[in-house]
Amino acid sequence: MTGLGPVSPIALGREDYWKALHEGRNGIGPITTFELGDCPVTFGAEIKDFDPTRWMPGKEAKRSDRAIQFAVAAAKMAVEDARLDTTAIDPYRLGVYIGTGQGGIETSFNNFKTMMEKGSRRVSPYFIPMMISNMSTAYVAIVLGAKGPNLCVVTACATSLHSMGEAYHTIVRDDADVIIAGGTEAALRAISIAGFASMKALSTRMDSPETASRPFDKDRDGFVMGEGAGVVVLEELSHALARGAHIYGEFVGYGTSCDAGHITAPDPEAKGAAFATRHAMEMAGWKPEQVDYINAHGTSTGLNDKMESHMINDVFGEHAKDVVVTSTKSMIGHCLGAAGGLEVIASLQAIEENFIHPTLNYTTPDPECGELNISTGSGINRKVDRLLVNSFGFGGHNGVLAFQRYI
């Protein structure tokens, strides 16, 4: 990994994002960027004052869904952070794998409303290219001149990790030298809030939104929606070394599976998640006791947190009490398809800085989650050589990535 590009509710860009994580900054509060109507939940982790024209021409920004805008901004940040001259690369060896869970949902909603109120002839000619999920990865490819492998993964909340995992395999089989990979999501809009609220999946802590995202805490009552993009530069090692790139971490393992049990609920026995975790570690050549840190999916929902805790205790046994666990979602909410990308960036910075950021609002341990070693307070100063990042999505999609310090 040679470049990191976060667009998050707490900061834009690698350095500011890491500073915000280190400080334990909370990005959750009342929603201000759109009309909520009669939505039963009125808070989330939104990106305020986002100006897409910093990364793309104003004319193009008007023709692009917010999810596309986030993807372009994150990709450009990652490339700049990597000090990568994309014009110096064979364009057919440069790929883009940026997935999304819900695609251009704001564009879909607005055009549907226009058609119902004003008729079909008033639907925008840009509706389809603004709405379809693959347009984020296509647009980034256009901007960067990337003519190599191009893929849009859609696996709900596991999207970013699957995008990176598939990008890894593409590079390993020598189909590309560099792939810009991750996820983007701009679904923090009234229609999505209404849908998740109807499922009883969202926190309703209206009196205290800043404490609503509380992963693994006994008093959690649901997740908090967020938005953003997390994009990284995956680069073949010899290619990175040849240009003197800074290496944040080495991608060494990828585990994936499907629970094949329920459209939304995870397997309570965590068999699929455990399989993906063990596979990632086997691919990396690690034993459980060698893992220093797990950036958990940690959604702050009753079912996910219990399942994930069960998996960690099952896979790691006695070491489960020693491996440090955090949930970045306690600060940035659940950014759905972009969540894993932002969490990978946070994790790679942990290797870089030898610091594990805190999990906010963890005050009352849930006995049903076992004895996890949750990073709280002001975080933990600790050398991080090996870590895992978890993502588990609706539909039973599981993804686990393994990273280690490059020496």
pLDDT higher than 90, residue 1? yes
Instruction: Say yes or no: 72 and 200 in one domain.
Output: yes
Reference 96, options 164, 39, 158, 38; nearest CA is 164
Instruction: Say yes or no: 109 and 25 in one domain.
Output: yes
Per-residue confidence band for 407, with pLDDT thresholds at 50, 70 and 90:
confident
Q: Is 310 a catalytic residue?
A: no
Q: Please give the residue range of the domain that contains residue 360.
A: 250-404
The residue annotated as part of the active site, out of 152, 157, 335, 369, is: 157
Instruction: Say yes or no: 321 and 292 in one domain.
Output: yes
Instruction: Say yes or no: 100 and 29 in one domain.
Output: yes
Q: Could you report the per-residue pLDDT of 323-364, keeping only the tens digit for each?
A: 999 999 999 999 999 999 999 999 999 999 999 999 999 999
- Reported as half-sphere exposure (CB side, CA atoms, 13 A), residue 141 has a value of 21
Per-residue confidence band for 34, with pLDDT thresholds at 50, 70 and 90:
confident
Neighbours of 370 (CB within 10 A): 16
Residue 137 · residue 152 · CB < 8 Å:
yes
Instruction: Say yes or no: 181 and 314 in one domain.
Output: no
Give the integer Cα–Cα distance in Å for 407 and 405: 6
Q: What is the DSSP string of 166-181?
A: HHHHHHHTTS-SEEEE
Q: Which pLDDT belongs to residue 245?
A: 98
Instruction: Say yes or no: 10 and 108 in one domain.
Output: yes
Q: Which pLDDT belongs to residue 33?
A: 87
Q: What residues contact residue 50 under an 8 Å CB cut-off, 6+ apart? A: 7, 12, 66, 69, 70, 73
Instruction: Say yes or no: 318 and 195 in one domain.
Output: no
Instruction: Say yes or no: 16 and 149 in one domain.
Output: yes
Instruction: Say yes or no: 237 and 254 in one domain.
Output: no
Instruction: Say yes or no: 292 and 208 in one domain.
Output: no
Q: Which alpha helices (DSSP H) does 176-317 contain, by range?
A: 190-198, 237-242, 271-284, 302-316
The residue annotated as part of the active site, out of 162, 297, 310, 397, is: 297
Give the integer Cα–Cα distance in Å for 308 and 250: 25
Q: Is 39 a catalytic residue?
A: no
The residue annotated as part of the active site, out of 334, 335, 357, 369, is: 334
Helix (H, G, I), strand (E, B) or coil at 197: helix
Per-residue confidence band for 37, with pLDDT thresholds at 50, 70 and 90:
confident
Give the integer Cα–Cα distance in Å for 358 and 109: 36
Q: β-pairing, 178-185 with 150-151?
A: unpaired
Residue 15 · residue 52 · CB < 8 Å:
no
Q: Which alpha helices (DSSP H) does 173-206 contain, by range?
A: 190-198
| Final residue belonging to a domain, choices 242, 274, 300 | 242
Instruction: Say yes or no: 188 and 303 in one domain.
Output: no
Distances (CA, A) of 13 to 54, 232, 311: 13, 12, 33
Instruction: Say yes or no: 150 and 297 in one domain.
Output: no
Q: Could you report the per-residue pLDDT of 210-224, keeping only the tens digit for each?
A: 999 999 999 999 999
Q: Could you report the per-residue pLDDT of 365-406, keeping only the tens digit for each?
A: 999 998 899 999 999 999 999 999 999 999 999 999 999 999
Q: β-pairing, 355-356 with 380-381?
A: antiparallel
Number of domains in the chain: 2
| Final residue belonging to a domain, choices 242, 258, 275 | 242
| Final residue belonging to a domain, choices 220, 242, 264 | 242
Residue 105 · residue 192 · CB < 8 Å:
yes
Reference 250, options 352, 381, 174; nearest CA is 352
Q: Could you report the per-residue pLDDT of 114-126, keeping only the tens digit for each?
A: 999 999 999 999 9
- pTM across the whole model: 0.96
Q: Is 262 a catalytic residue?
A: no
Tracing tokens 């960036």 back to the chain, one arrives at: 345
Q: β-pairing, 178-185 with 94-99?
A: parallel
Give the integer Cα–Cα distance in Å for 397 and 377: 32
Reference 21, options 362, 348, 245; nearest CA is 348
Radius of gyration of the CA atoms of the chain, in A: 20
Q: Could you report the per-residue pLDDT of 54-108, keeping only the tens digit for each?
A: 999 999 999 999 999 999 999 999 999 999 999 999 999 999 999 999 999 999 9
Q: Which alpha helices (DSSP H) does 317-373 contain, by range?
A: 329-332, 339-353
pLDDT higher than 90, residue 311? yes
pLDDT higher than 90, residue 258? yes
The stretch 311-332 carries a mean pLDDT of 97
Domain of 286, CATH number, reads 3.40.47.10
